[in-house]
Structure 1
Amino acid sequence: MILLSFDIEEFDMPLEYGKEINFQDQIDISISGTNHILDILDKHRVKATFFSTVVFAQNAPDIIKRIIKSGHELASHGYFHSAFEPEHLASSRNELQEISSQKITGFRMPRMKPVDENEVKKAGYLYNSSINPTWLPGRYNNLNRPRTKFKEAGIWQIPASVSPILRFPLFWLSFHNLPIKIYQWVAERTHKKDGYLNIYFHPWEFTELGDQERFGFPGYVSRNSGRKMIERMDQFIGALKLKNYSFSTISEFIQNS
């Protein structure tokens, strides 16, 4: 089972690199990228999970409608992308349910930061997908965490997929920087070992990110973005479809676990 997910949010990442980006540009870039993603998913007739911040959902109502109409899952990515309080767990879920008229059962912490699992359960979620079970300097130190799905505090934990050996992360940066055939090879072997693959991306990856003056990103972030990212995602999903891999939302995957 292939679990594709996309974190749709206000595109505030340039701020981490000392660049200013106004709020409307943050929203517009994420709207454009999400439409590219939905076009690819529609083409291949596969379903995915979209983790949305409330701020993005409030400012992109047509995108939320399209996600729901296309049969994808909407889940919570918190209220804001760069600010978090424990009460946002419940308030983001409630607000997204109000906006979408859908039951929200999943949560992912922005930037995959740690979150209190008891608070996640208290807020009414059935699963949390906020763990990248690898080691990445300055970002993740989760080698002591289970590599595949498990339960904690009474809710499902669905970690991002990493390879069985060395815990090589199969997240968005790997997708951009590895030759696509090598990425697919590692992904398929991880799927064979685990029985599923949980990989995540962002809509702003589908924008050309090489403008140093505007975004300030290093090459490993901007590489294969924009049109190349659209082509790579189309190629990747198409290749897996040809090999008869199944795709699912995370909530459907949990229901069948």
Structure 2
Amino acid sequence: MVLLTFNITCIEAEVKNGSQITDNERLKIIENNTRAILRILDIHDVKSSFFVEISLVGKLQNLIKAISSKGHEIAFYNKDSNPEEIENAKKNIQDLLEKQIRGIRQKDVKVSQEILKLMEFNYVSNIDNANILFPFKRLKRDTEITEEDGLSIVPESISPYSQLPYNDFVFQILPMKYYQNMVLETLQNEEFVLIYLNTWQFTDFKKYRFDIPFYRSLFSGKKMEDKLDALLTFLNDREMATSRMKDYVF
């Protein structure tokens, strides 16, 4: 099973000298990137999970409704929100969508699993930092879903052969043929592959002059769209099953 997920977060980078990008423009970039992803998913009839950064939930309600209306899962991405902010966002979006928010993803700041369970989350999908050295930091990890404190803990996936993780940076940098082979090899040994991408990777950094490391701008924008399209074409040609997180975990 392939679990394809997307993190909807704001680009925090400063802009290059002589450029200016307002907060509203940053939100528009998020919306445009996400809608480009949705078009590609629609073409291939693939359902996915979108983890929306909690501070953006109130600002992107129309986008969230559009994602949910197409059959994709809405979950949360906790960057640095406190439990009260998480709980309020969860209530507001559940009222908006008339659906329960089951999943949450965290990275640097992690609310305890006991508190998340009390908020009636069902699964946690935590991730690590992904930079140019990240793939070489840890070569072994648990890749099975476990139950802790009444929550399903979904780990990041890692290729058993190349030892590369399926994070956003690896997808952006690797040639698609190599990445496809990595998916095939992993599913020969594991029950699922969890892939996560960031919507900001689909930004045209020639048009929007953010001050980001050069390796982060490589193969971004339209090239990311083409890579996603190539991956989904490959999955469908091979008749490989895909799933939203909440459906697979339960």
Give TM-score scaled by structure 1 length: 0.85
Helix, strand or coil for the counterpart of 2:94? helix
In structure 2, the partner of 1:222 is 217
Range with bigger deviation, 88-97 or 26-35: 88-97
Distance 1:151 1:89 in 2: 22
Q: Describe the shift of the 1:33–1:7 C-alpha distance in structure 2 as closer, same or farther (beyond 3 A).
A: same
Cα shift at 1:221: 0.9
Distance 2:109 2:157 in 1: 16
Cα shift at 1:24: 1.0
Range with bigger deviation, 33-42 or 16-25: 16-25
In structure 1, the partner of 2:26 is 26
1:182 and 2:178 equivalent? yes
Helix, strand or coil for the counterpart of 2:156? coil
Helix, strand or coil for the counterpart of 2:226? helix
Q: Which runs of 5+ in 2 are unaligned?
A: none
Give TM-score scaled by structure 2 length: 0.88
User: 1:106-132: per-residue Cα shift (whole Å, max 9, x none)?
Assistant: 0012x4654422222122100000144
2:121 partner amino acid: Y
Q: Describe the shift of the 1:55–1:229 C-alpha distance in structure 2 as closer, same or farther (beyond 3 A).
A: same
1:94 and 2:99 equivalent? no
Q: Describe the shift of the 1:232–1:217 C-alpha distance in structure 2 as closer, same or farther (beyond 3 A).
A: same
Q: Identity rate of aligned residues, in percent?
A: 28
User: 1:58-116: per-residue Cα shift (whole Å, max 9, x none)?
Assistant: 222332122111111111123xx4x322333322322221232211010012x465442
Range with bigger deviation, 139-148 or 61-70: 139-148
User: 1:158-201: per-residue Cα shift (whole Å, max 9, x none)?
Assistant: 12211124642111101111111111111221122111111111
Q: Describe the shift of the 1:252–1:133 C-alpha distance in structure 2 as closer, same or farther (beyond 3 A).
A: farther
- The 8 Å contact of residues 133 and 145 in structure 1, kept in 2 or not, is answered as no
Mapping of residues 170-209 of structure 1, within 5 Å: 170-209=166-205
Mapping of residues 7-46 of structure 1, within 5 Å: 7-12=7-12, 14-15=13-14, 21-46=21-46
1:106 and 2:106 equivalent? no
Larger RCO (CA within 8 A; separation ≥ 6) = 2
Mapping of residues 84-163 of structure 1, within 5 Å: 84-109=81-106, 111=107, 113-132=109-128, 146-163=142-159
Alignment length (residue pairs): 249
Q: Describe the shift of the 1:22–1:141 C-alpha distance in structure 2 as closer, same or farther (beyond 3 A).
A: farther
- The 8 Å contact of residues 130 and 168 in structure 2, kept in 1 or not, is answered as no
In structure 2, the partner of 1:6 is 6
Cα shift at 1:202: 1.6
Alignment root-mean-square deviation, CA: 2.9
- The 8 Å contact of residues 65 and 100 in structure 1, kept in 2 or not, is answered as yes
Distance 1:86 1:136 in 2: 32
Q: Describe the shift of the 1:178–1:140 C-alpha distance in structure 2 as closer, same or farther (beyond 3 A).
A: closer
Distance 1:149 1:16 in 2: 40
Cα shift at 1:146: 2.2
Q: Which runs of 5+ in 1 are unaligned?
A: none
Q: Describe the shift of the 1:89–1:61 C-alpha distance in structure 2 as closer, same or farther (beyond 3 A).
A: closer
